[in-house]
Structure 1
Amino acid sequence: MRFSILLRTTLAFFALLAATAWAQAPLKIGVTPGPLADSAEVAAREARKQGLEVQIVEFSDWITPNTALAAKDLDANYFQHHAFLDNAVRERGYKFRSIGVGLQGSLGLYSARYKRIEDIPTGARLAIANDPANQTRALGFLRDIGLITLNVRTPRAITPDDIATNPKKLKLVEIPGPQLVRSFEDVDVEVSPPSSFVTAGRKDVAHAALRYSLDDDSYWAIQFVAREDNAADPRLAKYIAIYQASEAVRTQLHASYGSNTHFYRLAWMKQKPQP
Structure 2
Amino acid sequence: MNKLIATLALGLLSLTAHAADAPLKVGTTAAFAIPLEAAVEEAGKQGLKVELVEFTDWIAPNVSLAAGDIDVNYFQHIPFLTNANAAAGTHLESYAPGIINNVGLYSRKYKSFDELPSGATVAIANDPINAGRGLQLLAKAGLLTLKPGVGYKATEEDITANPKKLKLIQVEAVQLVRAYDDADLVQGYPAYIRLAKTFDPSSAILFDGLDHPEYVIQFVIRPDHKNDPRLAKFIDIYQHSPVVRAALDKANGKLYQAGWEK
Looking at structure 1, the residues matched to 45 and 152 of structure 2 have their Cα atoms a distance apart, in angstroms, of 41
The Cα offsets for residues 24-46 of structure 1, whole Å up to 9 and x where unpaired, read as 11001111113x21111111111
> Which among 228, 234, 243 is matched to residue 248 of structure 1?
243
Q: Corresponding residue for 2:183? A: 187
Looking at structure 2, the residues matched to 213 and 27 of structure 1 have their Cα atoms a distance apart, in angstroms, of 33
Looking at structure 2, the residues matched to 131 and 110 of structure 1 have their Cα atoms a distance apart, in angstroms, of 19
Q: Corresponding residue for 1:80? A: 76
Q: Corresponding residue for 1:142? A: 138
* Partner SS for 1:225: strand
> Which among 235, 256, 259 is matched to residue 264 of structure 1?
256
Q: Which has the higher helix share?
A: 2
Whether 2:194 is the aligned partner of 1:198: answer yes
Looking at structure 1, the residues matched to 152 and 238 of structure 2 have their Cα atoms a distance apart, in angstroms, of 28
Whether 2:2 is the aligned partner of 1:8: answer no
Q: Aligned residues, how many?
A: 262
TM-score, length of structure 1 as denominator length: 0.91
What residue identity is the alignment partner of 2:261? Answer: M
Q: Corresponding residue for 1:212? A: 207
* Partner SS for 1:206: coil
Q: Corresponding residue for 1:43? A: 39
> Which among 18, 21, 35 is matched to residue 21 of structure 1?
18
Whether 2:182 is the aligned partner of 1:170: answer no
Q: Structure 2 regions of 5+ residues with no counterpart?
A: none
Looking at structure 2, the residues matched to 92 and 106 of structure 1 have their Cα atoms a distance apart, in angstroms, of 28
The Cα offsets for residues 190-220 of structure 1, whole Å up to 9 and x where unpaired, read as 1111221112123x43122122220254211
Q: Structure 1 regions of 5+ residues with no counterpart?
A: 271-275
Report if the CA contact (8 A) 1:111-1:188 is conserved: yes
Whether 2:104 is the aligned partner of 1:112: answer no
What residue identity is the alignment partner of 1:265? Answer: Q
The percent of aligned pairs where both chains have the same amino acid is: 43
* Partner SS for 1:51: coil
Write out the 4+ residue segments of structure 1 that deviate beyond 4 Å after TM superposition.
none
Give the Å deviation of 1:154. 4.7
What residue identity is the alignment partner of 2:235? Answer: I
Distance change (3 Å), C-alpha of 1:108 and 1:216: closer
Give the Å deviation of 1:267. 1.4
Looking at structure 1, the residues matched to 111 and 163 of structure 2 have their Cα atoms a distance apart, in angstroms, of 19
What residue identity is the alignment partner of 1:218? Answer: P
Report if the CA contact (8 A) 1:121-1:168 is conserved: yes
Report if the CA contact (8 A) 1:152-1:158 is conserved: no
Report if the CA contact (8 A) 1:125-1:188 is conserved: yes
